Amino acid sequence: MAASKRALAGSLVAVVAILAAGCGSSDSSSSDATPASEWADGFCSAIDDWSTSLRSLGTNLQGGNLSKDSLTSAIDDAKTATDTFTSSLRDLGKPDTESGQKAKASVDDLSTQIDDDMKTIQDAVSSTKGATGLISTVTTITTTLQTASKQVSDTLDELQSLDAKGELESAIEGAPSCKELSS
């Protein structure tokens, strides 16, 4: 009986070892990467959708009849758009290029920065008091959106600098949503 328990234990150890070998971390093979053209299209599409949503926020800020309630409503819409944007960026994964993992890390960093920017805006809106507070809040929103725009631009620059072979650049130039974004 003791011999059969040892044999069973030995078999379990062998099965666990085989499963562990199959489930171990993989090298960064391209099997978990998105084709560069698809990745670029998703990236530009996310930016385009988000910037369209934020344009309506800008229109609301310039519209005149601004109150804390209208500002809160506009920021709630912007928050929803931003959540969709950052989620879309994170869901892109990495492009199937030589620098795909670095590109993914850059885009993930951008997502975190944009989430932080939205938190800054929400905090400013929630602490708004009176007409003077509204003016200060609008200034904070405008400044933060300018920062976000620069962060997107900086990420694009970083992606270009990572792209020694021009794989992403070609994909971005060929992606339909990127063409729409640049026009």
HSE (CB half, 13 Å, CA atoms) of 166? 3
What is the pLDDT, as a whole number, of residue 15?
30
Confidence of residue 6 (pLDDT cuts 50, 70, 90): very low
CA angle, residues 88, 94, 98, in degrees to nearest 5: 155
Lowest mean pLDDT among 76-85, 97-106, 134-143, 161-170: 161-170
Q: How confident is the model at residue 167 (pLDDT cuts 50, 70, 90)?
A: confident
Domain boundaries, the chain: 35-182
How many CA atoms are closer than 13 Å to the CA of 94, on its beta-carbon side? 18
Q: Is the pLDDT of residue 147 over 90?
A: yes
- Please report which helix (H) or strand (E) contains residue 34, including its range: strand 33-34
In this structure, the number of other CB atoms found within 10 A of the CB of residue 31 comes to 7
Mean pLDDT, the chain, as a whole number? Answer: 80
Average pLDDT in the 174-179 region? 86
Statement: residue 56 has pLDDT above 70: yes
What are 21-32's pLDDT values in tens digits?
Answer: 333 333 334 457
pLDDT band at 134 (very low <50, low <70, confident <90, very high): confident
Least confident of 44-53, 95-104, 157-166: 157-166
Ordered DSSP codes for 54-111: HHHHHHHHHSS---HHHHHHHHHHHHHHHHHHHHHHHHT-EESSTTHHHHHHHHHHHH
pLDDT of residue 18 exceeding 60, the answer is no
Answer whether 97's CB lies under 8 Å from 35's CB.
no
Given a contact cutoff of 8 angstroms between Cβ atoms, the answer to whether 78 and 114 are in contact is no
What is the phi-psi region of residue 21: left when phi exceeds 0, alpha when psi lies from -120 to 50, beta otherwise?
alpha
Q: Poorest-confidence range of 4-8, 68-72, 141-145?
A: 4-8
